[in-house]
Amino acid sequence: MATTLAPTELLDTPLAIGGRGFRSRLMVGTGKYRHNQEMAQAIDASGAEIVTVAVRRVDLDRTKEEGVLHHLSPERYFLLANTAGCYTADEAVRYARLAREAGFNEFVKLEVIGDRETLLPDTAGLLEAARVLVKDGFTVLAYTSDDLITALRLEDAGCAAVMPLASPIGSGLGLLNPYSIRTIKQRLEVPVIVDAGVGTASDACLTMEQGVDGILMNTALAEARNPVAMASAMRFAVDAGRLAFLAGRMPRREVAVPSSPERGMLA
């Protein structure tokens, strides 16, 4: 690695969620990798610190198998449990409590899914679960739609971060509505982390250019032909997008403006 500080480190402040600082604005999931070793290498290449995991029944016929934690040192990574697969507020609260009992932290990535086809969030259930979990001492990061009003309600409910989608989970469609993501970011005080839908590096860069605080992705890495290379690309893209946002882009114009002097031309 270079001995000089990366430009983002010079211009940027660390990401803070729920009173805790994080060095990377890229968060990654651990699902759908072809094998655990590839997952571990990709996550290493991504530079991510926050890594998501799901809560599921132990497979009692395969208890000798190495679990996901065997490949992710809790000293190095911050484990963020999700409530993926939950369709009601009660179910999500139950999963969150089980996850907390694993003993790593009080953070939960709250998901309450409303529809099996699109996996879009049930925003009413989400708000209900968020209120219960905040009251119960959790640091709640809420996976939600790109709807401003829901995002504001989640912030009011005490969520530590709001996580609107770029596009549906696992779709790789990229950032479908930059305007709503930008609006949510401008109106909320808590961090806005875009979660789901990013497919490739340009999607990540464009998303960060909207000014959001970070991105969480899983499938874009796990389903890339080369997850380790894609993880590295995403790391650069998130940094590039963040830096471009901090730098402040030039205005868009409908007319050309010459870059070379108009004076001094030969007669």
Partner 1 sequence: MSELTVVVNGEERRVPGPATLLDLLRHLGLDPRTVVVERNREIVRRPRLGETAIAEGDAIELVHFVGGG
User: Which residues are the active-site residues?
Assistant: 109
52 binds partner 1 (CB under 8 A): yes
| Tokens standing for residue 100 | 């907390």
Between 123 and 218, name the residue whose CB sits nearer to partner 1: 218
What distance in Å separates the CA atoms of residue 175 and residue 197, rounded to the nearest whole number? 7
Contact with partner 1 (CB under 8 A) among 63, 73, 259, 260: 63
Inter-CA distances, 133 with 12, 37, 76, 122, 210, Å? 31, 34, 26, 16, 29
165 binds partner 1 (CB under 8 A): no
30 binds partner 1 (CB under 8 A): yes
Enumerate residues 189-218 that contact partner 1 by CB under 8 A. Answer: 196, 216-218
Question: Taking CB under 8 A as the rule, which mask of x and - marks residues 89-108 in contact with partner 1?
Answer: -----x--xxx-xxx-----
Q: Of 48-56, 130-138, 206-214, 234-242, which part binds partner 1 (CB under 8 A)? A: 48-56
Q: Are 229 and 46 in contact (CB under 8 A)?
A: no
Q: Are 248 and 61 in contact (CB under 8 A)?
A: no
33 binds partner 1 (CB under 8 A): yes
Q: From the CB of 28, what's the least distance to partner 1, in Å?
A: 8
**Edge-to-edge strands of the sheet including 193-195?**
26-28, 214-217, 193-195
Helix, strand or coil, per DSSP, at residue 39:
helix
Q: Of 74-82, 158-166, 206-214, 246-254, which part binds partner 1 (CB under 8 A)? A: 74-82
What distance in Å separates the CA atoms of residue 258 and residue 197, rounded to the nearest whole number? 38
Contact with partner 1 (CB under 8 A) among 1, 58, 256, 257: 58
Q: From the CB of 72, what's the least distance to partner 1, in Å?
A: 9
Q: From the CB of 164, what's the least distance to partner 1, in Å?
A: 15
Q: From the CB of 74, what's the least distance to partner 1, in Å?
A: 10
Inter-CA distances, 265 with 256, 257, 258, 260, Å? 19, 16, 13, 10
CA nearest to 147, candidates 126, 129, 165: 165
35 binds partner 1 (CB under 8 A): no
Inter-CA distances, 77 with 48, 69, 136, 255, Å? 8, 10, 24, 48
What distance in Å separates the CA atoms of residue 163 and residue 227, rounded to the nearest whole number? 23
What does the binding site for partner 1 look like in residue numbers (CB under 8 A)?
29-33, 36, 39, 52-58, 60, 63-64, 67-69, 79, 81-82, 84, 94, 97-99, 101-103, 169-170, 196, 216-219
